[in-house]
Amino acid sequence: MKKPEKAPDMQELIGEVSDVLRFDALLKHVENPLVSGKYLHWDKLRYYDPPGGLTHREWWLALKMSRRSRSHNTPLVDMNDSPFHYVIVDPIPERLHQIDLGAGGRIEVSGGMQEITNPETRDRYYVRSLIEEAITSSQLEGAATTRPVAKEMIRTGRRPRDRSEQMILNNYRTMQRIGELKKEPLSIDLVLEIHKIITRDTLDGPSAAGRLRNDSERVVVDDMYGEVLHEPPPASELEERMTNMCDFANGKTPKEFVNPTIRSILLHFWLSYDHPFVDGNGRTARALFYWSMLRHKYWLFEFISISQIIRKEPVKYGRAFLYTESDGNDLTYFVLYHLDVIHRALKELHRYLKEKSLDLQKLEAELRGVVMLNHRQRALVGHALRYPHQVYSVESHRRSHNVVYQTARTDLLDLAKRGLLRARKVGRAWRFMPADDIEERLRTLT
C-alpha cells in the first residue's frame, strides 16, 4: 500500500498568508468542508483544480478551517498528546439514521427478515454470520484456507489442522463470546480475555496471548516492502491508554453525546492505533466494534459481517487509517469508511435473506412435485423447512392427517431413511427432528 502524502500543517499554512485581503478571499471558501460531495484528503485534493484563483495550499487551508470549526475532539490522543477529532458531514447523519432504523429496536419484517426474528429459524442465520465473520476476519490477517473447508471444520467440530484453521476457529469462538459479554462493561481484563481467545495456539510465543506487549517487543505496521506505515505508542503507556479507552467505550468520556455507532467505530480505531498486542490487534479491534454495537442494542449486528465487506477492498481499510494519521488526527476519514462498510454489510444481509426466502419458497413449490413423497410427507417437510427445531411424533403426525398409527409411523421412518429427519427413541416412543442439512438433502430429491 502506498503511503499517502502527509497533509500540510494548518498553522504553517496560516503563516504563509500574510496579506489580509488574501485571507479574506480564503474565508469565502470555508463554508463547506466537502469538495464535490467528498471529504477529500490532501493526497487527492492536490489533483483537483482550486476555485477562485487559489493555490492548492490556500484551498487546503480554507477546507481545514471549515473542518476544524465543526470538529469534535475525542479522548484519544496521539503520542504528542494531540487529540483525534471528527466532523459530522454528509452522508454521516443519513447513515446513522439508517442504522438506528434498520439495526436496532423493532424493524420491518419483510424480504426474508422474518427468518431472523423467528426464534425457530434465527439460529441458522446467527451461526452463518459467525462463520462468515470468523473466516473473513482471519483471512484479512493472512489465514489461508477455503470457505468450504472452514465451514466443515466449524460445523463438524473437528480439530484445526493448521494455524489458519486455528485462527478461524478462534474468531468463531470469540464472536460467540462477544454475544455473551455484550451486557458487560469494557475493562482491560475483558479486552485481554478477548485477545486470548482470538490468538490461542496461533502465536510464535504462546505467552503473548492475552497480555499487553512489553518494552522489548517492538511492534510496527508496515507494508510488504518494509516501509513503516504506523508506529504505535510505547508499551509503557499502554495500561493508561487502555484505561482511557475503556472509559470511552463505557460512555464515561467525553461529556458530550457521542452517537453509539460513532463510539463503536472510534473504539475500533482506538485499539488499532494503540496496537497493544504482539499480534491479533486487527481481529481484536473488530471484535470490540461488535461488542460495542451489541451493547448499544443494535441486535442486527449479530447477523452481519463487516470483515466480509472489508476483505473485498482491503486497501481502502488501510488507507482510512493512514488518511487519519497523515491529516492531523482527523478521524472523519475512518468514520466515513466504516459507515460505508456497515451500509454495504446491511445491504448484503438483506440481499442474502431475501434470496434465501425466495429459495425456500421455490424449494417448497418444487417439493409438491416430488412423487417419491406422499402429500402428508410433503406437508411435514414443508413445515420442517420453516421450523427446523420442531419435534414430530407418530401421534402428532397421525392426528394432523387423520390416519392410522401404522401409516403415520411408516411416513416418518421413510423420511428418516431418506435423511430428511433425524430419529431417536425416547423411552418407547420415537421422536423426529429435521436434519441439519435438510435443504441440501431435499435438492437431491427435487
C-alpha cell at 398: 397421525
Q: Which of 56, 71, 86 is the last residue of a domain?
A: 71
| Whether the predicted pLDDT of 110 surpasses 70 | no
User: Are 334 and 241 within one domain?
Assistant: yes
User: Are 162 and 59 within one domain?
Assistant: no
Residue 106 pLDDT level (bands cut at 50, 70, 90): low
The answer to whether residue 361 sits within a structural domain is no
Please compute the mean of the pLDDT values over residues 149-175 and round it to a whole number: 92
User: Are 311 and 387 within one domain?
Assistant: no
User: Are 254 and 350 within one domain?
Assistant: yes
Domain range for 388 is 370-445
User: Are 33 and 22 within one domain?
Assistant: yes
User: Are 79 and 192 within one domain?
Assistant: yes
User: Are 55 and 200 within one domain?
Assistant: no
User: Are 86 and 65 within one domain?
Assistant: no
User: Are 62 and 211 within one domain?
Assistant: no
Q: Looking at the 3D structure of the chain, how many domains does it have?
A: 3
Q: Which pLDDT does position 113 carry in this prediction?
A: 63
pTM here? 0.86
**pLDDT tens digits, 131-148:** 899 999 999 998 988 888
Q: Which pLDDT does position 363 carry in this prediction?
A: 80
The answer to whether residue 405 sits within a structural domain is yes
The answer to whether residue 5 sits within a structural domain is no
List the CATH number of the domain containing 412.
1.10.10.10
Q: Which pLDDT does position 403 carry in this prediction?
A: 87
**pLDDT tens digits, 395-417:** 999 888 888 999 999 999 999 99
List the CATH number of the domain containing 227.
1.10.3290.10
Q: Which pLDDT does position 109 carry in this prediction?
A: 45
**pLDDT tens digits, 188-205:** 999 999 999 999 999 999
User: Are 79 and 180 within one domain?
Assistant: yes
**pLDDT tens digits, 202-246:** 999 999 999 999 999 989 898 877 788 999 999 999 999 999 999
